[in-house]
Amino acid sequence: MSSGREQAISRRVFTSAVFSAATFGLAGCLKGDGTQLSIYNSRPNPVTIHIEVSHIDPEPKQQVFTDDPSIPPNETQEYESLFEESGTKRIIVETEDGQQAQYEWGATPDSQSGYLTVRIEEDAIEFSLSIG
């Protein structure tokens, strides 16, 4: 029969291991593994947009992604694995009501370096880089 001390140590080791595994697992979920582009609709109504992402540097320019999603109010559309090549990218976002904006950023294929966030407002389209 084992002593209470041996059971306590085993329980402590087990609890520590479970807590560590849960922490690392949750950290992986929170950092958004794989996300390269996130688009948030802050308007009170659904919005349909046209998105074009192009690789512009190094030359030659080439389109790497296009989509026409309809995004519900206060919802986010996320994209993973849009491109595999690092370099300067240009995104053009246009809403169905004619609002248009573009943004250029130095992008890498891994989410460790961050991802681009686009926010659709009533009177503007805003861009920001989120560190992953």
Residues 64 and 6 in one domain: no
* Interval 69-96: pLDDT, tens: 999 999 999 998 888 888 888 999 999 9
Residues 26 and 54 in one domain: no
Residues 18 and 42 in one domain: no
Domain with 5, as residue range(s), is: 1-30
Residues 55 and 21 in one domain: no
pLDDT of residue 86: 83
Residues 59 and 114 in one domain: yes
Q: What sign does the CA torsion over 11, 16, 21, 22 have?
A: positive
Residues 79 and 112 in one domain: yes
Q: What percent of the chain has pLDDT over 90?
A: 46
Residues of the chain with pLDDT under 70: 1-33, 110-113, 132
Residues 18 and 46 in one domain: no
pLDDT of residue 5: 53
CA–CA–CA angle 124, 130, 131 (5° rounding): 170
pLDDT of residue 21: 41
